[in-house]
Structure 1
């Protein structure tokens, strides 16, 4: 099964990191792999294809991450948690999803992202 992709558009990479942590902590989502930074033009293209209109606001930080939930469930949880970023859910099977996966290996890994540990307290897992 393909993972749903979330596109995070915000003013700084710090806010993107907070939004990712919120998806895990409050949205109950699991981030698969490492979130990646994408070019603003690609982010705008993906936004337009999924939302159906041109972005009204320009953002400086554009991040994609793969999550473990189906699109409808992810959208429902996003409505409940209000992360500090604009987040677009990109469903598997869409042209945007296929294009992002095709280019995934070329995107820079977002530095500073650490998923909450599910291990013994005081013992950190090495990645």
Structure 2
């Protein structure tokens, strides 16, 4: 699972598309909007310190990669957002899954076609 924190939902949509297109991640299900207080709590629990910056848009999405691989791929790309990988064995992951059905769906996200594979085939 990844937590995306950014200035607006347009940037969150771009960040999600970047995860698919450039980081090779698959988004499972629909990304959801979460309350800022829950997002700040999640950051504090995962990173170990309070968030330094306040953001307006907070989105969680389930991805198909193990945490270590997802972190490695995030380091290779530069999405327009602050993205944190939430490992499945953490209290934050359990809490987000428990509340998943109560979160609003992020409208406007459609997984882009994977560009990387097409570019590789053309070479």
User: TM-score, normalised on structure 1?
Assistant: 0.88
RMSD (Å) for aligned C-alpha atoms? 0.9
Q: Could you tell me which residue of structure 2 aligns to residue 76 of structure 1?
A: 72
* Contact 2:33/2:59, CA 8 A, preserved across alignment: yes
Displacement of 1:71 after TM fit? Answer: 0.2
Aligned with 1:32: secondary structure? Answer: strand
Q: Could you tell me which residue of structure 2 aligns to residue 103 of structure 1?
A: 99
**Distance in 1 of aligned mates of 2:53 and 2:62:** 24
Aligned with 1:33: secondary structure? Answer: strand
Runs of 4+ in 1 over 3 A off after TM superposition: none
Displacement of 1:93 after TM fit? Answer: 1.4
1:28 aligns with 2:24: yes
Higher helix share: 2
**Distance in 2 of aligned mates of 1:31 and 1:114:** 10
Q: Deviations over 1:7-50 (max 9, x none)?
A: 00000000000000000000000000000000000000000000
Please, which runs of 5 or more residues in structure 1 have no aligned partner? Answer: 119-127
Please, which runs of 5 or more residues in structure 2 have no aligned partner? Answer: 115-123
2:48 to 52, 55, 59: 52
Displacement of 1:117 after TM fit? Answer: 4.8
* Contact 2:4/2:83, CA 8 A, preserved across alignment: yes
1:112 aligns with 2:108: yes
Aligned with 1:84: secondary structure? Answer: coil
